[in-house]
Copies of this chain bind each other. A is one copy, B any other.
Amino acid sequence: MTNIKKVSELAGVSTATVSRTLKDPDLVSPQTREKVMVAVQQAGYRPNWMATSVKTGKSNSIVVLVPNLVNPFFMRIIEGIEQAAQEKGYSVLLGDTQGSASREHEYASMLLTNRADGLIQLDHSFPFSQDDAHLVGNLPVVSVCERIEGDKKYPVIELDNYAAARAVTHHLISYGHRSFGVIAGQISSQIHHDRLAGIKSVLAEEGIVFDEAMLVGGSYKIETGVEGVQQLLTRAQPPTAIICFNDDIAIGALYAIKKHGLRVPQDISVTGFDNVRVAAYMDPPLTTVDQPAYQMGRRAVEVLIQQINRQPLTRTREILPFSLLERQSTGPVSKPNQH
């Protein structure tokens, strides 16, 4: 391990000068700068990151908590996070929690051990353990998409889920649908409530009563969509339109509907959320709500770094624009409302 002292001896200067040359070259005369750079090159010297961190008290790393890695929507957010972080000189510690609270706690405690300067939470839970909660003063935390539960208020980058759900519902109603099924993801989250409220508000305006038996699901998986459709099709009056709370669910729904010998959208219309890449290549291409996932990740980092630098936040909640992509999985009802 070649350290700063070796370099300083090689260059015939003090360690301080070496440090300065590397950190702020303008503070050093051109001649010594040259000498030092030669020595650095020759010795193959790279400053020890950990040592620098101990001195400065900054790790220049952030942790990202994500419930699972296989959801391409999350990955797109993390892509944005990664990119923005790198540009700002931060690196990203990956915290795949698999929904486990103890894992969340473990990752979150990285903030307490100076291992990371900030945390981005993609899930909705308060990530710290009971024990740690006392120590969490104003630690930099930002949540994306979801809102973190609990008393502490953290900045959040999110979508107007209420409005998005309204847009979807309006779109379907414009095709004449009046009988709706919903296949939800994580029931306990704010997203769920906002979206459901959005749907119900439009239905109420249209004089349609939402039948709670038409609400199924419980997790953001393909299988949820498959099972959801199976359940909805057993109803006395199956829905003519199914709103899925993410694209994976919608993919499962498309699959199950076709498997039942029904056609999309002639028999049943299907919508998703997220606009995952494959969504456009489904058969039929999926009507879905596009979320600016990449941009959300980027913003999360910017806001987080503001917190880390103790700069005042202009606002504690940012709402990014969605757009409804009307593709071919939605269409007019082909038969009267009665089945």
Contact yes or no, B114 A96, CB < 8 A: no
A248: chain B residues at CB < 8 Å are 278
Q: Which residue of B lies closest to A107 (CB)?
A: B91
CA distance A57 to B76 in the complex (A): 34
Within 8 Å by CB of A112, from B46, B64, B110, B283, lies B46
Per-position binary interface string of chain A over residues 211-248, scored 1 when its CB falls under 8 Å from any chain B CB and 0 otherwise: 00000000000100010000000000000000000001
Q: Which of A78-86, A141-149, A194-202 contacts B (4 or more CB under 8 A)?
A: A78-86
Does chain B have a CB within 8 A of A139? no
- Chain B: minimal CB distance from A20 (Å): 18
Which A1-40 residues have C-beta < 8 A from chain B? 1
Contact yes or no, A69 B59, CB < 8 A: no
Per-position binary interface string of chain A over residues 44-82, scored 1 when its CB falls under 8 Å from any chain B CB and 0 otherwise: 101111110110010101001000111010011011001
CA distance A76 to B248 in the complex (A): 16
A109: chain B residues at CB < 8 Å are 46
Contact yes or no, B48 A54, CB < 8 A: yes
A134: chain B residues at CB < 8 Å are 44
Contact yes or no, A50 B94, CB < 8 A: no
| Contacts from A to B (Cβ < 8 Å) | 1, 44, 46-51, 53-54, 57, 59, 61, 64, 68-70, 72, 75-76, 78-79, 82-83, 86, 91-94, 96, 103, 106, 109-110, 112-115, 134-135, 222, 226, 248, 251-252, 254-255, 258, 277-278, 281-283
